[in-house]
Amino acid sequence: MKLSKLLESIIPRQVRGISLYSDHESISVPCTLPICLNPDPEISSLHFNSREVQPGGLFIAIPGFKFDGHEYIDSAISQGATAVISQKPLAKTVWNIEVENSRKALAILSSQFYGNPSGKLKIVAITGTNGKTTTAFLIEKILLQAGLSVGVIGTLNCRYGGKVFDLSMTTPESLDLHRILADMLADGVTHVVMEASSHAIFLNRIDACWMDVAVFTNLTQDHLDFHGNMEDYWQSKKKLFTEHLAKGPKKNKAIAVINCDDPIGKRLFKELPSALSVGFDDSCHLWPEIIREDQTGMEGVISTPEGMFKFETPLIGQYNVENMLCAAGACLTLGLPLNIIRSGIESVEFIPGRLQSIPNSVDRFVFVDFAHTPDALENVLRTLRNLTTDRIICVFGCGGDRDREKRSLMGQIAASLANICIITSDNPRFEDPMDIIRKILEGVRKQGLPPYNPDDAIKSPSARGYVVEPDRSKAIDLAIRISRHWDMILIAGKGHETYQVIGDQTFPFDDRQIAQKALELLEKPIHREHHWKKKLI
């Protein structure tokens, strides 16, 4: 694509370059559209990483939190960059386009370079502290049930057309995002479901990506290490609706789906008069009635503006009902019939790493969940507590180099709802695991939970308490070793993740595999039914 064509999508402060007719004197082009360049170079690729620049490429210098792309402009030029986007003027022998915000410019230029793919796709974006991945998974299954070609971009991975790619972040950088959308479009994808993280919204990663539906799940404490406070965190999320959905080219048909069980959701719904509300209150556009809920799943009825439908699902918990309502609402706005929505919901057997049950023959209910925020951990533990009168053993930790304020809160929640807390490591990164654990213990001790000696488990089977085991593998093994028939064991924090991050190294680690191995080591017990039969004889 010609540089002048690419620049039609932005309004630079100034364009500087080398004139073909002025004996290589530097010239400046007034910032009026269209911008006429002479010579007008062909741009073969876009880059924000100087190490990846190819000859004929355009390098966009982005000021980051650890590194400033402006410091790598010389490297990009030596790699063959034809032009550079920057936030400050350069005196270089390449075209230099100076802009106000190079992150925004990267997103807009990426969309232009890849032919504005979001405008040719039906895109559903989901934001919220918790529930994004589950809601995306449910929407994907409903769309597939309708026979549509679907792509998904989110925490689990990027997947479409039988292809699966790992992502380094929930929502990719804008250049990668628009490239992925273009690849999906070329592969025949018609509908895309994507998770929009607060980081991505704040850092302009989803700029120039135009949505047809935006979904709000909830807002609870998380990422305060990045946003600083809850209000700034909320304002970042809110932009998905007030800017990206409301001001894009699809704005006349775009719809917001809002979970009004969440207090922030109620506030947002009042500001968006054309939005679709979902929640347990029968004043919402979509609302449920739960008929049955136990360890095996739920049955219920969902009422919608188009009528009612029954559903049966192995998912459990009120928060999962909210996720189903959000998914149903999004698909309803896309024009899908209720029978397809029902079939899609019922086709979901489990969500990877979201209260995922680990099958076993030793009469334990073992679940692995991604819960790594206070609200998520409380939701999962309350769900399990409502389903059992037996013990709950909770294995959890908190990530290093992340929101430190939530650590004691999570300790307090776990101590109030679980019988035994086993506190361990969860991606400690560059922090000492014991420093993280000590902060968690502040909350545990506020609840008055005493230390627990695993060796006394047989002597005092009903005793409550906490154990510190920094080695996560040993912590999971301990939880299963001290468990009894019908106990519920929650292994929280990592969910679908298949790694543990310690320092600058990433090690293979999967909670589900560790739990499965520990379960296999338990001797298969005689079922209670057999005991009863013996007594009857």
> Do 135 and 230 fall within a single domain?
yes
pLDDT in tens, 250-269: 988 999 999 999 999 999 99
Give the CB-side neighbour count of residue 370, counting CA atoms within 13 A.
15
SS (H, E, C) 156-196: CCEEECCEEECCCCCCCCHHHHHHHHHHHHHCCCCEEEEEC
**H-type helices in 34-187, by residue range?**
73-78, 102-113, 132-145, 174-186
> Do 394 and 515 fall within a single domain?
yes
Helix (H) or strand (E) holding 429: none
> Do 315 and 436 fall within a single domain?
no
> Do 172 and 42 fall within a single domain?
no
Query: Which of 97, 113, 129 marks a domain boundary?
Result: 113
pLDDT in tens, 220-229: 877 777 778 9
* CATH code of 98's domain: 3.40.1390.10
> Do 257 and 289 fall within a single domain?
yes
pLDDT in tens, 396-429: 999 999 989 999 999 999 999 999 999 999 999 9
Res 34: pLDDT: 56
Res 458: pLDDT: 58
pLDDT by residue for the chain (537 residues), tens digit each?
Answer: 999 999 999 999 998 875 433 333 444 544 444 566 768 999 999 999 999 999 999 999 999 888 899 999 999 999 999 999 999 998 777 899 999 999 999 999 999 999 999 999 999 999 999 999 999 999 999 999 999 999 999 999 999 999 999 998 889 999 999 999 999 999 999 999 999 999 999 999 999 999 999 999 999 877 777 778 988 989 999 999 999 998 888 988 999 999 999 999 999 999 998 899 999 999 999 999 999 999 889 999 999 999 999 999 999 999 999 999 999 999 999 999 999 999 999 999 999 999 999 999 999 999 999 999 999 999 999 999 999 999 999 999 999 999 899 999 999 999 999 999 999 999 999 999 999 999 999 999 999 999 998 877 656 767 899 999 999 999 999 999 999 999 999 999 999 999 999 999 999 999 999 999 999 998 655 444 433 332 322
> Do 105 and 217 fall within a single domain?
no
Relative to beta strand 95-98, strand 83-86 is: parallel
What are the counts of helices (DSSP H) followed by strands (DSSP E) for the chain? 17, 25
* Domain membership flag for residue 529: no
* Domain membership flag for residue 535: no
DSSP 442: H
CA distance 123 to 128: 17
Cite the beta strand spans of 175-254 per DSSP E. 191-195, 213-216
CA distance 254 to 246: 8
Q: What is the sign of the dihedral through the CA atoms of 100, 104, 109 and 115?
A: negative
* Domain membership flag for residue 222: yes
* Domain membership flag for residue 351: no
Res 533: pLDDT: 32
Confirm if 482 and 443 have CB atoms less than 8 A apart: no
* Domain membership flag for residue 537: no
> Do 384 and 423 fall within a single domain?
yes
Res 457: pLDDT: 61
Cα pseudo-dihedral 179, 181, 185, 186, rounded to 10: 20
* CATH code of 501's domain: 3.90.190.20
> Do 251 and 360 fall within a single domain?
no
Confirm if 189 and 150 have CB atoms less than 8 A apart: yes
Domain that holds residue 444: 356-521
* Domain membership flag for residue 39: yes
> Do 364 and 270 fall within a single domain?
no
* Domain membership flag for residue 530: no
> Do 109 and 124 fall within a single domain?
no
Query: Which of 328, 346, 364 marks a domain boundary?
Result: 346
Q: Which two tokens stand for residue 460?
A: 């005092």
Residue 373's SS3 state is: coil
Cα end-to-end span (Å), the chain = 85
> Do 258 and 151 fall within a single domain?
yes
CA distance 310 to 190: 28
Query: Which of 113, 148, 174 marks a domain boundary?
Result: 113
The tally of domains found in the chain comes to: 3
* Domain membership flag for residue 379: yes
Confirm if 85 and 59 have CB atoms less than 8 A apart: yes
> Do 158 and 180 fall within a single domain?
yes
